[in-house]
């Protein structure tokens, strides 16, 4: 895919922030930037390729500038074999508010705030565009746009860009293991290619929160939640709020238990997928916990869609016991409870072990 991104600044003299921007795309729907800019932050076809996963963060190169008020993008979608283009007004006040307020840090740092300082521009299939504001461990959607198909005027194409317009270029890129890895390619063969429409469906939210049940004498220290709409939470408080969230695809739960004069540290990882090697791959060098390729067909998604009332509060109950011998069985129970009913989730991959 090729993406052109241009974000212009307002003419008024405004507060300047230290911030960065980049594009991302689903691993199975890779894109390539044609031209574009975020204020003074420029994108081009040189280094503009992305398959970092939906909501995944790319390179970080900070500038000091006002919050951009427009987004203008043009890109090539390899899978669609089409260029998309659009020009939209960004929700500047919403972005400024997040930049100014930040969010609370982890336990032990309750009076310290982390900063939102990153614009993550998601280029989805069929011209879908989502913009998130991100900081360390947290990511919030601020806008959703729709681009239209476009044809680049041959007179505007310079010599260094000609390679993008060669016949068969998109297909050639899709056959490259750097563009779509062998692992993702194998998952597509096994689980099928996700329909482009699911990325819009992933944005649907439900009223829920997690509840963690640990062994006696244990305490929750922190938790990292990734949702299928690209949003992420790193709540500093174990009493996480009940609010509208998208369906989660992964948890990383950090907790400890007293062992004599010291505390043993544990991490419990959960991913909702049929890929049994999900966490083994994540823990490898350069591994990543991107949304599973089979998530659109997974049990948890069907449960939320078909059995839960999105406007009634629900709890995702996660019970953990490190005394179980197999690391993959230490999450001993996981279910969603709503209005007195329990819905157990069996289709998951878990791993609990020591964390140093």
Does residue 187 fall inside a structural domain? Answer: no
Given this model, what pLDDT does residue 10 score? 46
Asked which of 122, 156, 190 is the last residue of a domain, the reply is 156
Given this model, what pLDDT does residue 43 score? 72
Given this model, what pLDDT does residue 297 score? 93
Residue 265 burial by Cβ neighbours in a 10 Å radius (0-12, 13-18, 19+):
middle
| Distance between CA atoms of residues 192 and 97, nearest Å | 41
Say whether both 237 and 314 belong to one domain. yes
* H helix intervals, the chain: 92-101, 169-174, 182-191, 198-201, 278-282, 299-307
Q: Which domain holds residue 57?
A: 2-156
* Regions of the chain with pLDDT less than 70: 1-13, 40, 44-48, 105-112, 236-239, 285-289, 356
Say whether both 46 and 105 belong to one domain. yes
| Distance between CA atoms of residues 270 and 161, nearest Å | 43
Say whether both 49 and 129 belong to one domain. yes
Does residue 51 fall inside a structural domain? Answer: yes
Given this model, what pLDDT does residue 51 score? 84
Asked which of 156, 175, 209 is the last residue of a domain, the reply is 156
Does residue 165 fall inside a structural domain? Answer: no
Say whether both 127 and 250 belong to one domain. no
Number of domains in the chain: 2
Residue 60 per-residue DSSP state: -
pTM strictly above 0.85: yes
Say whether both 343 and 292 belong to one domain. yes
Does residue 177 fall inside a structural domain? Answer: no
User: What's the half-sphere exposure (Cβ side, CA atoms, 13 Å) at 312?
Assistant: 10
Given this model, what pLDDT does residue 105 score? 60
Given this model, what pLDDT does residue 14 score? 78
């Amino acid at each position: 895919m090729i993406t052109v991104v241009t974000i212009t600044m307002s003419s008024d003299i405004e507060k300047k922030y230290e911030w960065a921007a980049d594009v991302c795309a689903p691993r199975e729907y890779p894109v390539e930037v044609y031209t574009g800019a975020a204020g003074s932050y420029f994108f081009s076809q040189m280094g503009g390729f992305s398959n970092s996963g939906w909501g995944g963060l790319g390179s970080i190169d900070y500038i000091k500038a006002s919050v951009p008020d427009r987004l203008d993008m043009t890109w090539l979608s390899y899978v669609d074999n089409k260029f998309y283009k659009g020009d939209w007004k960004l929700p500047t006040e919403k972005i400024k508010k997040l930049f100014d307020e930040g969010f609370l840090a982890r336990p032990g740092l309750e009076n310290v705030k982390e900063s939102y300082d990153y614009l993550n521009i998601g280029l989805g299939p069929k011209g879908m565009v989502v913009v998130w504001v991100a900081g360390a461990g947290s990511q919030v959607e601020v806008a959703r746009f729709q681009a239209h198909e476009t044809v680049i005027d041959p007179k505007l194409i310079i010599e260094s860009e000609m390679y993008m317009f060669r016949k068969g270029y998109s297909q050639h890129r899709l056959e490259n293991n750097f563009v779509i890895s062998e692992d993702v390619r194998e998952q597509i063969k096994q689980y099928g290619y996700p329909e482009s429409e699911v990325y819009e469906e992933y944005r649907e939210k439900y009223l829920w929160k997690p509840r963690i049940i640990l062994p006696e004498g244990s305490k929750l220290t922190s938790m990292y939640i990734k949702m299928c709409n690209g949003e992420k939470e790193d709540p500093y408080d174990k009493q996480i709020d009940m609010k509208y969230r998208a369906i989660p695809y992964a948890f990383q739960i950090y907790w400890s238990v007293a062992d004599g004069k010291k505390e043993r540290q544990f991490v419990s990882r959960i991913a909702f997928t049929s890929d049994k090697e999900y966490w083994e791959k994540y823990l490898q060098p350069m591994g990543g916990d991107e949304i599973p390729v089979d998530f659109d067909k997974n049990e948890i998604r069907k449960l939320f869609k078909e059995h839960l009332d999105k406007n009634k509060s629900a709890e995702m109950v996660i019970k953990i016991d490190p005394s179980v011998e197999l690391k993959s069985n230490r999450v001993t129970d996981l279910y969603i409870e709503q209005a007195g009913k329990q819905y157990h989730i069996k289709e998951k991959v878990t791993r609990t072990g020591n964390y140093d």
